[in-house]
Amino acid sequence: MVKRWLAAGRLMVRDMDLEDVAALKLCLLSLGVLLGLAVPRRKKPAFALFSTLVFIGTYFPLMVKFLVSLVRADREP
């Protein structure tokens, strides 16, 4: 079942344009805000640490890929 979902996700990503990606990012941001509002005050520091680690673990690899693409785009005519 998970393999099927991943395959469907890959197909969806191939068909996405910039506006679709922006909508997905806004959707996930809104979900994160809603979940953050639901976390009890005493558990917020743990969730903040977890969110920071997830951010670092995803942001930097994505930016490396982007910078590689940026360099590649500059080299192509």
CA atoms within 13 A on the CB side of 31: 6
pLDDT (0 to 100) of residue 6: 92
How far is 70 from 64, CA to CA, in rounded Å?
10
- pLDDT tens per residue, range 31-58: 999 999 999 999 999 999 999 999 999 9
| Domain identity same for 24 and 52 | no
The confidence band for 74, taking pLDDT boundaries of 50, 70 and 90, is: confident
- Do residues 33 and 57 both lie within one domain? no
Domain that holds residue 60: 42-77
**Model-level pTM greater than 0.75?**
no
Quick one: 34 and 67 in the same domain? no
Q: Is the pLDDT of residue 76 over 90?
A: no
Number of separate domains in the chain: 2
Helix axes 18-38, 44-75, angle to 10 degrees: 170
